[in-house]
């Protein structure tokens, strides 16, 4: 089971929800929730945000980047407006968080350092 799957299951149990109940809140099937919890499937970015909203935690917590579920502190952000990311200034907090997640994923997958 992945960190993400463990955290979804833990938060679901803590909220006293069944997989079927959580799936209705998320707008997906209960089998999808089961696959997320088991680590056989990863939610897309929209679903990550919905999960975070339902449980009142950050996306970073769900992904295992921080240990505090409600941490709003800045982690190693690549969206510093002084580094050319002024577009982030006009986004909602959710939009900025999504942009950060996507930026980290693109860097991880397409970094020149890792491809050498």
pLDDT in tens, 58-115: 998 999 888 877 765 444 455 554 555 566 667 777 777 777 777 777 777 777 665 5
Q: Give a yes or no: residue 116 inside a domain.
A: no
pLDDT of residue 80: 53
* 81 touches 88 (CB < 8 A): yes
How many Å apart are CA 44 and CA 56, to the nearest integer? 18
Average pLDDT, the chain: 81
In-domain check, residue 33: yes
If asked whether residues 25 and 81 sit together in one domain, one would say no
pLDDT > 90? residue 51:
yes
Last residue of a domain, one of 56, 71, 86: 71
Q: Provide the whole-model pTM.
A: 0.62
> What's the domain range around 96?
76-111
C-alpha separations of 114 from 11, 53, 99, 104, 105 in Å: 34, 33, 22, 14, 13
């Amino acid at each position: 089971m992945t960190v993400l799957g463990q955290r979804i299951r833990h938060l679901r149990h803590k909220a006293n929800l069944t997989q079927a109940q959580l799936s209705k809140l998320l707008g997906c099937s209960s089998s999808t929730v089961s696959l997320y919890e088991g680590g056989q499937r990863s939610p897309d970015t929209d679903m990550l945000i919905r999960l975070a909203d339902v449980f009142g935690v950050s996306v970073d917590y769900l992904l295992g980047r921080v240990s505090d579920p409600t941490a709003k502190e800045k982690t190693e952000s690549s969206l510093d407006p002084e580094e050319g990311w002024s577009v982030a200034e006009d986004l909602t907090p959710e939009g900025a968080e999504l942009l950060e997640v996507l930026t980290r994923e693109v860097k991880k997958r397409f970094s020149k350092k890792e491809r050498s």
